[in-house]
């Protein structure tokens, strides 16, 4: 076993032990909101974790046209949360998440003023097994290191436009040239995951009790999928 794969097994196990401990198929009541599910996909390099992002294709009819996101989309009738994340990932970028390992779920994101309820299923993958095939809905797929995503110099308050409105939102400037900032619900899910990693590192240093996320988090008007 290579050092990267050995480290991958240990890191994925630590993450799985601290994610929300409930059945991956559980679908919470959405209270009339549109249900959606996304996949946060990890791979382990020798010295860092990397996270997969997509950039949505330009489409005048898509309010999230060109945005950075995790693969995912709306639940179909009778579909379960992580089943939807797997299906959408396969449809959008051709990756079969059954070839990786399911690690658990982050807390659901519930919009306080928006009719959306988003679940995020976390998967670990072997980078060598990932050969994306992009659908028409996706213009690009790329990996970004956790170190870059954690870099405080990349965190900013950015001006963005959405639904004919302009607003200032917390965001991350990505290291890839020409990419828009990462913001909205994808940003908040990512920050939730980074918080989890911070607790894992803190526990390793201080041997404190394990950390767990609440089942859902309310958002304000500025948040978007």
| 158 within a domain of the structure (yes/no) | yes
In a domain, 103, yes or no: yes
From first to last of its 225 residues, what are the pLDDT tens digits of the chain? 455 555 568 889 989 988 865 555 455 555 678 899 999 999 998 889 999 999 999 887 776 789 999 999 999 999 999 999 999 999 999 999 999 999 999 999 976 446 789 999 999 999 888 899 999 999 999 999 999 999 999 999 999 987 778 889 999 999 999 999 999 999 999 999 999 999 888 887 776 555 454 555 554 444 444
For 34, counting Cβ atoms within 10 Å of its Cβ (0-12 exposed, 13-18 middle, 19+ buried), the class is: middle
Instruction: Name which of 137, 141, 56, 41 is nearest 91 in CA terms.
Output: 137
Count how many domains the chain has: 1
pTM: 0.85
- Full domain range(s) for residue 147: 3-210
Q: Residue 218: inside a domain, yes or no?
A: no
The answer to whether residue 196 is domain-embedded is: yes
The contacts of residue 55 (CB under 8 Å, 6+ apart) are 66, 67, 68, 69, 138, 139, 140, 141, 142, 179, 180
Separation of alpha carbons 20 and 22, rounded Å: 6
CATH code where residue 53 lies: 3.90.79.10
Residue 216 falls within a domain, yes or no?
A: no
- Give a yes or no: residue 219 inside a domain: no
Decide if 80 is inside a domain: yes
């Amino acid at each position: 076993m290579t050092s990267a794969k050995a480290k991958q097994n240990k890191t994925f196990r630590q993450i799985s032990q601290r994610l929300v401990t409930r059945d991956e198929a559980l679908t919470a009541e959405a209270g009339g909101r549109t249900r959606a599910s996304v996949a946060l996909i990890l791979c382990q390099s020798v010295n860092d974790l990397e996270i997969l992002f997509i950039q949505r294709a330009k489409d005048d009819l898509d309010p999230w046209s060109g945005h950075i996101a995790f693969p995912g989309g709306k639940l179909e009738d009778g579909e379960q949360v992580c089943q939807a994340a797997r299906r959408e990932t396969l449809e959008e970028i051709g990756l079969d998440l059954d070839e990786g390992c399911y690690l658990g779920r982050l807390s659901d994101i519930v919009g306080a003023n928006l009719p959306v309820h988003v679940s995020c299923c976390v998967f670990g993958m072997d980078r060598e097994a990932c050969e994306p095939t992009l659908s028409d809905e996706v213009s690009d797929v790329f990996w970004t290191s956790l170190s870059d995503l954690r870099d405080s110099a990349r965190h900013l308050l950015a001006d963005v436009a959405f639904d004919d409105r302009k607003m200032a939102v917390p965001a991350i400037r990505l290291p890839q040239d020409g990419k828009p900032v990462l913001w909205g619900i994808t940003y908040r899910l990512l920050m939730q995951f980074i918080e989890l990693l911070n607790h894992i590192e803190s526990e390793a240093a201080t041997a404190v009790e394990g950390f767990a996320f609440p089942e859902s988090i309310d958002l304000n008007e500025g948040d978007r999928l």
